[in-house]
Amino acid sequence: MNAGTPTAGTSTAENTAITFFGGKGGVGKTTMAAAAAIGLADAGQRTLVISTDPAHSLGDALETPLGDRPRQVADRLWAAEPDADAAVRRRVEQVTEDAYEALPREIMPAVRRHLTHAAASPGMAESALIDLLIDTMERVPGEWGRLVVDSAPTGHLLRMINLPTLLTPWVQGLVRQRERVAGADSLIAGMVGTDQSDRAEEDPLLERLRARRHRLEGAAARLREDASVRLVLLPRRMVLAETERAADQLADAGFRLGPVVVNQVPDQPDTQVLEAVRRRFAPNGIRELPLADVEPTGIARLRALAA
């Protein structure tokens, strides 16, 4: 079999509007994401590639400085590395604003202290990044025709794409709690004869919670319907074992798996590992790439890799 060619038929998952590249740290997923995005752009698709890995290396792969805002790096290709810390700060500001509308002023100092501690937790960063990702997904198709996501290592990827589903019940609980509070306020007002005719029927905070719930539900559905995950691995036993576990977890959660990429295949590989990869992932399709003498960075080398 020739390196760089598929071992099975092209998967329909390759044609999804959103493609995640994931895998164990150091397998080359950033390089593969960048090359895939260049290939899509060269094929005529307006493409955005973004990194959701806090340890950004997408800009290094493209040899171009990147930031929060998408930057055009080639014809029909844009790239961005969202700032997770800035996203967390924006999230804390929004939660604080909501809290001022919902809670007594005397407990706000304690709430602020709690939010300061929460901002340092990994869960807050992932939640903020999923908001940024949802923002971007809503602009595809539209501003861009395809979205390629260079994700953090496998565990982070699994949490990130499952987060909309995990957060939805929590937001639903907040909605129910707020509805009970609003109902109690209305009951007390009726008992004491307070005229509430001038009050808006809807609670602004409740409306925001409902909107967030619907947005998360829509994102969770879209990730399963219109996105695929391409796992990148090296031809090594331990890497294969982690990749198989990730593939099983993603499939169990209802996500589509695209062709896997076996990267850095040496001239004399471990044939038992390669055969195990082929047996396990043949239904998805496999791309095997030889170990390169030169690291493929920059648009020209990545374009050659994509081709």
Q: What is the mean pLDDT of residues 269-295?
A: 91
The answer to whether residue 7 is domain-embedded is: no
More confident residue, 279 or 87: 279
Cα 111 from Cα 164, distance rounded (Å) = 24
Contact yes or no for 41/76 (Cβ under 8 A): yes
**HEC-encoded secondary structure of the chain:** CCCCCECCCCCHHHHCCEEEEECCCCCCHHHHHHHHHHHHHHCCCCEEEEECCCCCCHHHHHCCCCCCCCEEEECCEEEECCCHHHHHHHHHHHHHHHHHHHCCHHHHHHHHHHHHHHCCCHHHHHHHHHHHHHHHHCCCCCCCCEEEEECCCHHHHHHHHHHHHHHHHHHHHHHHHHHHHHHHHHHHHHHHCCCCCCCCCCCHHHHHHHHHHHHHHHHHHHHHHCEEEEEEECCCHHHHHHHHHHHHHHHHCCCEECCEEEEEECCCCCHHHHHHHHHHHCCCCEEEEECCCCCCCCHHHHHHHHC
CATH number of the domain that 252 lies in?
3.40.50.300
| Residue 1: predicted pLDDT | 35
In the predicted model, what is the mean pLDDT of the chain? 78
The answer to whether residue 10 is domain-embedded is: no
The answer to whether residue 183 is domain-embedded is: yes
Number of domains in the chain: 1
The answer to whether residue 11 is domain-embedded is: no
The answer to whether residue 62 is domain-embedded is: yes
The answer to whether residue 49 is domain-embedded is: yes
Query: What residue numbers bound the domain in which 80 lies?
Result: 16-306
The answer to whether residue 8 is domain-embedded is: no
| Residue 171: predicted pLDDT | 57
pTM: 0.77
| Residue 187: predicted pLDDT | 42
The answer to whether residue 9 is domain-embedded is: no
| Residue 209: predicted pLDDT | 67
**In the predicted structure, residue 111 carries a pLDDT above the cut 80:** no
Which residues neighbour 255 within 8 Å (Cβ) at sequence distance 6 or greater?
Answer: 161, 223, 224, 227, 228, 229
Q: What is the pLDDT of residues 126-153, one digit of tens each?
A: 777 777 888 899 999 889 999 999 987 6
